[in-house]
């Protein structure tokens, strides 16, 4: 091997090690902040689906969360329980996940204490097309689910031009019917799974 070639290889190796070390150090430095931001984001999402007042100041998110919500175990599942001032359960927030049009959709759904009404829905991550299916993040779409009645059949449905159901129907996103239908299917499957397991009658572990 020529001396020039060896020098090039060693130089590229040294550069690779140098920048890898920088990236690893940066990741280690910022990891606590990343984890903190992710925790606050999840707290904010849970507060939203439990219909607890919207918080814009991140310094207040943890305080409001801790004053209104408790994390519990239910059949090895982490759930989030909303209590009133007298200690009565007002609702539950469950994490959910399912297949969207282009990838996995993750989020939280809030359900009333009697398991008859959806309190709210929020999406924490997805791979849907920006400007189309990605509009599931928009408040007008998410707010449609708030107050919808829960039933095993037919569950949440997509409204169409010929019929609208105020109790269980939601409007699809224009140009993104497939994503809208995927969201509805994910939520219906998740709710039906809860109903089939009779979750509403089980005691939440402290």
pTM beyond cutoff 0.95: no
Range from 58-62, 96-100, 134-138, 200-204 carrying the lowest mean pLDDT? 200-204
For residue 156 the two structure tokens come to 């949440």
Statement: residue 185 has pLDDT above 90: yes
Within 8 A by CB and 6+ apart from 186, the residues are 96, 97, 98, 99, 100, 105
45-91 pLDDT per residue, tens: 999 999 997 777 778 898 899 889 999 887 777 889 998 888 889 99
149-175 pLDDT per residue, tens: 997 777 899 998 777 888 889 999 999
How confident is the prediction for the chain on average, in pLDDT? 85
Residue range 15-25: average pLDDT?
76
Q: Domain limits of the chain?
A: 70-201
Residue 205's pLDDT band (cuts 50, 70, 90): very low
Distance between CA atoms of residues 26 and 131, nearest Å = 32
């Amino acid at each position: 091997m020529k001396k020039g070639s060896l020098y090039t290889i060693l130089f590229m190796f040294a550069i690779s090690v140098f920048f890898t070390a920088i990236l690893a150090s940066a990741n280690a430095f910022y990891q606590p902040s990343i984890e903190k931001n992710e925790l606050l984001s999840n707290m904010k999402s849970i507060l939203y689906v439990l219909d607890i007042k919207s918080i814009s100041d991140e310094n207040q998110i943890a305080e409001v969360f801790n004053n209104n919500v408790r994390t519990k175990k239910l059949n090895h599942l982490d759930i989030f329980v909303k209590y009133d001032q007298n200690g009565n359960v007002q609702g539950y927030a469950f994490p959910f996940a399912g297949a969207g049009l282009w990838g996995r959709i993750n989020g939280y759904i809030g359900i009333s204490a009697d398991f008859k009404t959806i309190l709210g829905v929020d999406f924490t991550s997805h791979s849907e097309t920006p400007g189309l299916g990605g509009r599931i993040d928009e408040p007008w779409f998410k707010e449609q689910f708030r107050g919808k009645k829960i039933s095993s059949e037919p569950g949440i449905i997509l409204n169409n031009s010929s019929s609208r159901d105020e109790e269980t129907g939601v409007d699809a996103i224009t140009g993104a019917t497939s994503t809208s239908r995927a969201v509805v299917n994910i939520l219906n499957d998740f709710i039906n799974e809860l109903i089939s397991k009779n979750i509403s009658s089980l005691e939440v572990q402290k």
